[in-house]
Amino acid sequence: MRIGLIGSGFIGGSVARLALAQGHEVILSNSRTPDTLADLVADLGPGASAALAADAADAGEIIVVTVPFKNYTAVPVEPLAGKIVIDTNNYYFERDGHFSAIDDGTQTPSGALAEHLPTSRIVKAFNNIQWEQLLHDGLPAGSPNRRALSIAGDDAEAKAAVTALIDSFGYDVVDAGGLVEGRRFDRDKPAYGPRATADELREMLARG
């Protein structure tokens, strides 16, 4: 599979590394030109390349949007039409500035991205695990105490594809429900951050 990355920082670089280990191709991008990602591309090795964000979006079959939340409106829209988009973004008002609809609870961070990408099939994932843990906590399917990660989204087929990807990275997957249920594992919720098995994560999501 070709996986496009819109954002290639801590979490984008980690997802890219895990995807390459599973034999996927990754197309990285950032807010600048592809040459600025040459070191990361070299470090990731065969299967990795860099492009402008719109071209990475165009090339990918699954696209990971992993930028500071405040920049979500710069994510290219047209090349992502109809595509599976993984949203890792978190809203931190200290970094992103205040978004009143999120502050007052009428909007979620993933809902905001979904408004910006109205025909994309968005799955919220990877927002509640720290990048170093994501790289190292994965275990083969069936391992005792395997860590679980939560997803949320409105498109069942997209969620199935993302579930398979996350499982291949070494994690069980717990479906929290529709995209709006992603609020159950947003910042400051019980399911934001701690290492948890699937059963533990379900309990945390219910409390969130």
Q: Which residues bind ligand NAP (CB under 6 A)?
A: 6-12, 29-32, 53, 66-69, 71, 74, 88-90, 126-127, 130-131
Torsion angles phi and psi, residue 24, rounded to 5 = -80, 165
Tell me the C-alpha to C-alpha distance, in Å, between residue 106 and each of 14, 75, 112, 157, 180. Answer: 31, 22, 10, 27, 10
Instruction: Name residues whose C-beta falls within 8 Å of residue 143's C-beta, 6 or more positions apart in sequence.
Output: none
Grouping H, G, I as helix, E, B as strand and the rest as coil, residue 58 is helix
Residue nearest to ligand NAP (CB): 9
Torsion angles phi and psi, residue 102, rounded to 5 = -80, -45
CA 20, chain centre distance (Å): 16
Task: Compare residues 69 and 181 and give the one whose CB is closer to ligand NAP.
Answer: 69
- Report, in Å, the least distance between residue 144 CB and ligand NAP: 25
Task: Compare residues 69 and 169 and give the one whose CB is closer to ligand NAP.
Answer: 69
- Report, in Å, the least distance between residue 142 CB and ligand NAP: 26
Task: Compare residues 95 and 207 and give the one whose CB is closer to ligand NAP.
Answer: 95
Task: Compare residues 130 and 143 and give the one whose CB is closer to ligand NAP.
Answer: 130
Identify the CA nearest to 62 among candidates 29, 25, 91, 111. 25
- Report, in Å, the least distance between residue 157 CB and ligand NAP: 24
- Report, in Å, the least distance between residue 4 CB and ligand NAP: 11
